[in-house]
Amino acid sequence: MSKILVIILSETRASELTYGSFKKNVIDELNADLCLCIGVKSDYDYNNPFYKLAKYKFIYNELDDYGEAFDYAYNIIINNKSKYERLEGYNALHGILENPLQTNNNIKHYNNIKDNSNIDSLSDDEIVIHENNFHDEIWKNKTYGIKNSTNKIVKQKDVTTYRKRLPWREFLKIKDQFLGGIKDQYNEHPGSAGILIFFRWFLLQNLIEQNLLNKYERFIITRSDFLYQLPHPKIDLLNEKYIWIPDGENNGGYTDRHAILSKNNIVHYLNILNNIVEKSNIYFMEMINFKSWNLEMLIKYHLRQNDVIHFVRKLPYIMYAVRNINGTTRWSKGIYSNELGYYIKYISEYNKSLYYKNKFENYTSNISAFYNEEICKENKIIEELEENITFSIN
């Protein structure tokens, strides 16, 4: 049997409504351990049942401005790394010089640089290396430094541009709500998605430092305010090579609210902030032309960049988020149900979970057979379309 670690991310809330359902339908159903990776305020209730149950607790002090947390993560990520990012197949010099002998006050030809072994000693914004296989003989093996980047760059074979990495705050210029929770005078995003990006990074750091990627085979990243209409699917039904997410609430990408991962793909799922820092120029260039980014879209884009998007699979959406009358929220306040006595945060999520509950009640076999049938049905469609699906932003 696989060792399973269930992780509640960012916050513990709504325990008075959800803890019993969570304990029964997730922890006990899967015989799993619990990990909290959360922010806490000075008045945090350490007696809440999620905290008491957790075997591992990764705690970060809550901030009014998560820009401080991003600065903290950024400095750790770039430690001992080159100040340049390698953009293979990109030419930042294209069309700027008429011939290889021409230089100017902004562009310098280097005779002694043929690779990236000593470029960190330079101060240019960009270094452009035309490789030995470059199609034009007169440009082969020519290297140039561009003092002040023009930000013009084109894709071209057998050319590599080394460009200084962008400060993470540049991404606030990309609209419009994937960095919520970070204060900025000019480009502040609404919501709290930036906080969730930070906690994905913080979780990954702790999983690595605590060697938990080797202690557990499967990982479930979820939230504490879910009520479950049915028990969580057994892990044995979910092939470990895939990234499993519920079949709804995608908002143009992939839902961020629940994911089942393995030790082989969890890093690719969590390292969004790492890639924003380490591959800042690629991410920025490809994201800047689209004006309505949210966290769900960023997750889908990120999985594509990590070349694991073809491993995404869907499972029935059997839970829904709730809020008590006096409960806190960072985004959706929800709609109050007089019948249930609490707020349903997302009606579409509630309806989807109720659909599966009702469907199972009319099912003639056991719940594992039910899940197996639903999962096979959903993912057969995905597999049939997979070769024709491309991720594009118009």
pLDDT of residue 394: 38
Tokens of 291: 């004006």
pLDDT band at 385 (very low <50, low <70, confident <90, very high): low
Q: What is the DSSP letter of 147?
A: S
- Euclidean distance between CA atoms 214 and 199, whole angstroms: 21
Look at strands 154-164 and 126-130 and give their pairing: antiparallel
β-pairing, 226-228 vs 126-130, is unpaired
Provide the H-helix boundaries in 14-119.
15-22, 29-30, 49-53, 67-77
- Decide if pLDDT at 108 tops 60: yes
Return mean pLDDT, the chain.
Answer: 92
> For position 326, what pLDDT does the model report?
77
CA 267 and chain centroid, separation: 10
What integer pLDDT is reported at residue 49 of this predicted model? 98
CB contact set of 33 (below 8 Å; sequence gap of 6+): 3, 4, 5, 6, 55, 56, 216
Confidence class of residue 72 from pLDDT cuts 50, 70 and 90?
Answer: very high
The beta strands (E) that lie in 135-212 are given as 143-146, 154-164
Query: Half-sphere exposure (CA, 13 Å, Cβ side) for 80?
Result: 0
CA–CA gap between residue 249 and residue 256 (Å, rounded): 9
Strand residues in the chain grouped as ranges (E): 4-10, 33-40, 56-61, 84-91, 107-110, 126-130, 143-146, 154-164, 218-222, 226-228, 243-246, 259-262, 312-315, 319-323, 335-337, 342-344
Phi/psi region, residue 151 (left: phi>0; alpha: psi -120 to 50; beta: rest), is left
Per-residue pLDDT, averaged over 240-259, amounts to 95
Nearest Cα to 191, choosing from 317, 61, 333, 60? 333
List beta partners, residue 130. 159
The Cα–Cα gap between 38 and 62 comes to: 9
User: What is the β-pairing status of strands 33-40 and 56-61?
Assistant: parallel
- The answer to whether 367 and 231 are in contact (CB under 8 A) is yes
Which pLDDT tens digit goes with each residue over 132-166?
A: 999 999 999 999 999 999 889 999 999 999 999 99
Which residues are paired to 127 by β-bridges?
Answer: 145, 162
DSSP three-state, residue 287: helix
- pLDDT band for position 383 (cuts 50, 70, 90): low
Answer whether residue 184 shows pLDDT above 90.
yes
Per-residue model confidence as pLDDT tens digits over 310-341? 999 999 999 999 999 876 666 567 899 999 99
What per-residue confidence (pLDDT) applies to 386?
54
